[in-house]
Amino acid sequence: MIHGLCDDVMRAVMAKMQIDVPRFLLRRRIRVEYKDGMSDKETKILVTGLDCNSSPMSILTKVRFRLGTYAKTLTREQYQIVVPKKVATAPAGSLKLAISFYGNHKEPVLALEVPYKDHGEFLYEIEYDIGSPEWGVKAISDGDE
């Protein structure tokens, strides 16, 4: 019988065998879509969690939206807000997101700033190294449809 955490035991076994323990990287994607609202004076903003192949995946637990003076926090899927276009095109016209995850790997909150567009989609690849305190973010698409 072994009394210890699995990771600690495996690190010791790997060290004894003189084999390096590979880094564990958690890779996900985040899609931010801008769509027409019910009227031409509104914009819908939708945030979706995706797996590494861009298939929808329930990985998010909370999304905080901030656009100009408008702020809202959603704690259930579908993470979608509708904002007046006059708010979205104000001088501070970039969308600031704080995205929380289920935390199976103790992931920190992801802070993401997305340029505002009337229409389009931004796709980000995010990567979390379990040994690091923050996410790595890489833009895959720039908002063009």
User: What are the pLDDT tens digits along the chain (145 aa)?
Assistant: 677 788 788 888 999 999 988 888 899 999 999 988 888 888 899 999 999 899 999 999 999 999 888 899 999 999 999 888 776 565 556 889 999 999 888 899 999 999 888 788 999 999 999 878 889 999 998 766 5
Domains recognised in the chain with CATH numbers: 25-142 (2.60.40.1970)
Q: Are 112 and 137 in contact (CB under 8 A)?
A: yes
| Burial class of residue 95, CB neighbours in 10 A (0-12, 13-18, 19+) | buried
Pairing status of strand 94-101 against strand 120-129: unpaired
Residue position matching structure tokens 């945030």: 47
Angle in degrees, CA 124, 125, 131, rounded to 5: 135
